[in-house]
């Protein structure tokens, strides 16, 4: 009952998927994974109809049930999505993918230090969904969207697999790594010095002994560590005593920077039917600058048909941006 909850016009299927590629991952995280599939109103009535599919992925520390988190006076993202498809938008199947790890996330890439989450998404989740739901199983009808690290995944996955994804939407996605990540290295060095005797191990020990996030620096420390696990097999790109950059390790990170990837994946990007990029102008990680840099790189390769928008907000509480982008993607990924 409203306002405490809303009955969905569509339907949410909560599934589980047993992953082969995640089995035995380095972190010992589960290889059986939750997967939610939202079916738009009318799905059950038109038994032959096929739909575009939109994969929605999460930011760092995201867990699937957080899509139900309610903020004051607001609908949650599931309700926002349902509201969209209960309205005038053309229908789509929305797939809520999990790629959580015990370090917070996977960046949706394959890494020996976390697991093969890119492979999991592309070669296990997508076929699983296409086999069980009436999707249009062509890249021109499949999109991917996310915020923060989810925005990162939405940028790089279609570059790597244009055979699967024909559209992307990134909200404040990680990009321009020297701007969004590097300033944190000094913060990490200081925190380790001041509170953990310079040792990441001691941080993790302390972190796991108390409610997560109960110290302000927690997220900085988790974030840098998790990114190293994803981008450089766990090797940190800085000296923990000083924050001094280790250029060779940071180069491995930069190879995964969406901005730097654009020239290498120019053909893939040119093949996309829908690109949505946005970010808040007060984003704490300056991801608005990353968005701008990503756009400029794409313009360099001739991709200019893009929805680009900077809006007045920080990195937080911007889940109301999701349905805007989902509507855009659906529009462009639905056959005329």
- Interacting residue ranges for its own copies, rule: CB under 8 A: 1-5, 16, 30, 32, 34, 61, 63-66, 68-74, 98, 100, 102, 104, 176, 178-179, 182-183, 185-186, 189-190, 194, 211-214, 219, 239, 241-245, 259, 281, 286, 288-290, 292-293, 296, 313, 317, 320
CA–CA distance, 196 with 24 (Å, rounded to integer): 31
Number of continuous H segments (helices) and E segments (strands) in the chain? 13, 10
| Strand bridging mode 32-39 / 93-97 | antiparallel
Question: What's the token pair of residue 128?
Answer: 């699983």
164 in helix, strand or coil? coil
Minimum distance from CB of 145 to its own copies (Å)? Answer: 18
Minimum distance from CB of 187 to its own copies (Å)? Answer: 8
Minimum distance from CB of 233 to its own copies (Å)? Answer: 22
- Decide whether 135 or 286 has the Cβ nearer to its own copies: 286
Minimum distance from CB of 161 to its own copies (Å)? Answer: 25
Sign of CA dihedral 153, 156, 159, 160: negative
Minimum distance from CB of 326 to its own copies (Å)? Answer: 16
- Decide whether 271 or 311 has the Cβ nearer to its own copies: 311
- Decide whether 129 or 291 has the Cβ nearer to its own copies: 291
Q: By the 8 A CB rule, do 168 and 143 touch?
A: yes
Minimum distance from CB of 320 to its own copies (Å)? Answer: 4
- Decide whether 49 or 212 has the Cβ nearer to its own copies: 212
Q: What angle do CA 109, 144, 256 make, to 5 degrees?
A: 30
Q: How far is CA 268 from CA 25, 117, 295, 298, in A?
A: 29, 20, 15, 11
CA–CA distance, 130 with 78 (Å, rounded to integer): 21
Q: By the 8 A CB rule, do 158 and 167 touch?
A: yes
Q: How far is CA 185 from CA 234, 264, 315, in A?
A: 15, 27, 19
Q: By the 8 A CB rule, do 265 and 298 touch?
A: no
Q: Of 282, 290, 276, 293, whose CA–CA distance to 317 is shortest? A: 282
- Decide whether 35 or 154 has the Cβ nearer to its own copies: 35
Minimum distance from CB of 226 to its own copies (Å)? Answer: 11
Q: Of 277, 281, 257, 261, whose CA–CA distance to 269 is shortest? A: 261
- Decide whether 125 or 274 has the Cβ nearer to its own copies: 125
- Decide whether 44 or 248 has the Cβ nearer to its own copies: 248
Q: By the 8 A CB rule, do 61 and 303 touch?
A: no
Minimum distance from CB of 183 to its own copies (Å)? Answer: 4
- Decide whether 14 or 163 has the Cβ nearer to its own copies: 14
């Amino acid at each position: 009952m409203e306002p405490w909850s809303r009955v969905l016009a569509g339907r949410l299927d909560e599934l589980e998927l047993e992953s082969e590629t995640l089995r035995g991952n380095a972190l010992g995280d589960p290889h059986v994974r939750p997967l939610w599939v939202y079916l738009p109103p009318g799905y059950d009535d038109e038994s032959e109809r096929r739909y575009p599919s939109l994969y929605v992925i999460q930011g760092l520390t995201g867990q699937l049930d957080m899509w139900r988190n309610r903020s004051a006076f607001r609908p949650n993202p599931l309700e926002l999505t349902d509201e969209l498809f209960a309205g005038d938008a053309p229908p789509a199947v929305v797939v809520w993918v999990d790629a959580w790890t015990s370090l917070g996330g996977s960046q949706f890439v394959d890494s020996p230090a976390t697991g093969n989450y890119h492979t999991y998404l592309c070669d296990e989740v997508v076929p699983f969904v296409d086999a069980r739901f009436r999707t249009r199983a062509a890249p021109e009808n499949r999109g991917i969207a996310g915020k923060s690290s989810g925005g990162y995944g939405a940028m790089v996955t279609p570059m790597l697999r244009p055979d699967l994804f024909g559209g992307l939407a990134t909200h404040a996605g990680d990009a321009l790594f020297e701007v969004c990540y590097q300033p944190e290295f000094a913060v990490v060095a200081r925190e380790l010095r001041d509170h953990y005797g310079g040792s990441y191990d001691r941080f993790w020990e302390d972190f796991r002994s108390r409610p997560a996030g109960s110290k302000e620096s927690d997220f900085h420390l988790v974030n840098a560590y998790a990114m190293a696990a994803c981008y450089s097999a766990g090797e940190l790109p800085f000296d923990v005593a000083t924050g001094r950059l280790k250029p060779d390790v940071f180069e491995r990170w930069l190879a995964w920077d969406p901005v730097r990837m654009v020239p290498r994946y120019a053909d893939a990007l040119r093949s996309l039917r829908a690109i949505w990029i946005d970010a808040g102008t007060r984003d704490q990680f300056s991801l608005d600058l990353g968005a701008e840099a990503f756009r400029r790189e794409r313009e360099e390769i001739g991709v200019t048909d893009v929805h680009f928008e900077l809006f007045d907000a920080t990195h937080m509480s911007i889940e109301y941006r999701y349905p805007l982008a989902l509507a855009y993607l659906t529009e462009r990924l639905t056959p005329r």
